[in-house]
Amino acid sequence: MKYDISITKTTNPAARPTDESKLGFGKIFTDHMFLMDYAADRGWYNARIVPFGPIPTHPASTVFHYGAEIFEGMKAYRAADGTIRLFRPLENVRRLNQSAERLCLPTIDEEGCLDILNQLVELERDWVPHSEGTSLYLRPFLYGNDPHLGVHAVSNAVFAVICSPVGAYYATGLNPVSIAIESEDVRAVRGGTGYAKCGGNYAASLRAGKRAEEKGYNQVLWLDGVERKYIEEVGAMNVMFKIDGKIVTPALTGSVLPGITRKSAIELLRSWGYDVEERLFSVEELFDALENGRLEEAWGTGTAAVVSPIGHLFYNGKEYTVSDNKIGPLTQRLYDELTAIQWGRAEDPFGWSVKVCHG
Ligand SMILES: *Cc1c(COP(=O)(O)O)cnc(C)c1O
């Protein structure tokens, strides 16, 4: 079911950035955005693409007080054949609805949501940058918008999509990151909202991230919230390890975000003949593998970076080096293959890359 989308074009289009090497991440936005309102007694209504700008919001709105907010992150790519493409967009729509269900926010029709994304990307196609490694980042978000302070599941909500041209994540090649293992703060617990992509999870993770940065580390490796024993994620990415030729990644136990890059990496690795174990993986087991020289590679996965090699791990006052602080061959192969599919440079045997329009 498609939503009936009205389109109001801007009369004052912005100049598009000319130097694509300075795009960075999420700093500039395109000329238009998508908005749609929800009321319990009407369902979704007033679907519209309008000029980009502030969204007037009631000061008592649920989103300000009780954190009823979820989001997605995906990219539109300018592909080698001149088309604009999305990568597994239905996965993002399904995850948005799973997050919505967890936070008692209204879900969106799958076909309708894909149509919203397609129409917005098509309208903004000239904003999809051209340089290698660049893309148009899409940020769909959905929040509770009841204009009163009672705590309850919401009856009013807003769904919005904004777009931002983003630069190549790796300006200077795929550099390994240094990671501090966090044994105090936790990101999520089972039964909580860890598997939902909600803003509150990020708010709760900022303190540990800031502490790690102050010590000179790029990101935090999160442990489980009960025993501080099992590895969960790295920063806002999923994490994978290559040990004795096998791949190990934390199972989706409820506190781990089900990444689409994670899922794609697992499917690719299995298609290449690798054993991929999704299971509980303890920090002891990690250090055992490190100390016995069996840890071959470690990397994070996520839409922004695709894969991010881990070069250093810091835990309980000690620093350890992984794969000589260099990108490992399998990490590199995963990066090359995933990006080749995303930018339409390679065959796409899985049908992951979905055409939106001609560029
Ligand atoms: C979005 C996100 C990921 C990565 O998901 P992708 O779909 O691969 O981009 C991993 N962990 C957290 C906490 C996230 O928010």
Residue 35 and residue 49: Cα distance in Å, rounded? 6
Ligand 1 atom closest to the Cα of residue 92 is 7
Give the distance (Å) from ligand 1 centre to CA of residue 196. 10
258 within 8 A of 218, measured Cβ to Cβ: no
Ligand 1 pocket, mutate which of 303, 306, 334 (most atoms under 8 A from CB): 303
- Which position has the token pair 């293959």? 337
Count of residues making up the chain: 359
Helix (H) or strand (E) run with residue 288 in it: helix 283-291
Residue 83 and residue 359: Cα distance in Å, rounded? 5
Q: Whose CA is nearest to atom 5 of ligand 1?
A: 259
Q: For ligand 1, is residue 260 a contact (CB within 6 Å)? A: yes
- Which position has the token pair 């703060």? 185
Q: For ligand 1, is residue 167 a contact (CB within 6 Å)? A: no
Q: For ligand 1, is residue 95 a contact (CB within 6 Å)? A: no
| Domain boundaries of the chain, sorted by first residue | 6-166, 177-342
pLDDT tens, residue order, the chain (359 aa): 999 999 999 999 999 999 999 999 999 999 999 999 999 999 999 999 999 999 999 999 999 999 999 999 999 999 999 999 999 999 999 999 999 999 999 999 999 999 999 999 999 999 999 999 999 999 999 999 999 999 998 999 999 999 999 998 876 678 899 999 999 999 999 999 999 999 999 999 999 999 999 999 999 999 999 999 999 999 999 999 999 999 999 999 999 999 999 999 999 999 999 999 999 999 999 999 999 999 999 999 999 999 999 999 999 899 999 999 999 999 999 999 999 999 999 999 999 999 999 98
Class level of CATH domain 6-166: alpha beta
What residues contact residue 170 under an 8 Å CB cut-off, 6+ apart? 133, 305
- The domain made up of 177-342 has a fold known as D-amino Acid Aminotransferase; Chain A, domain 2 (3.20.10)
* 39, β-bridge pairs: 43, 156
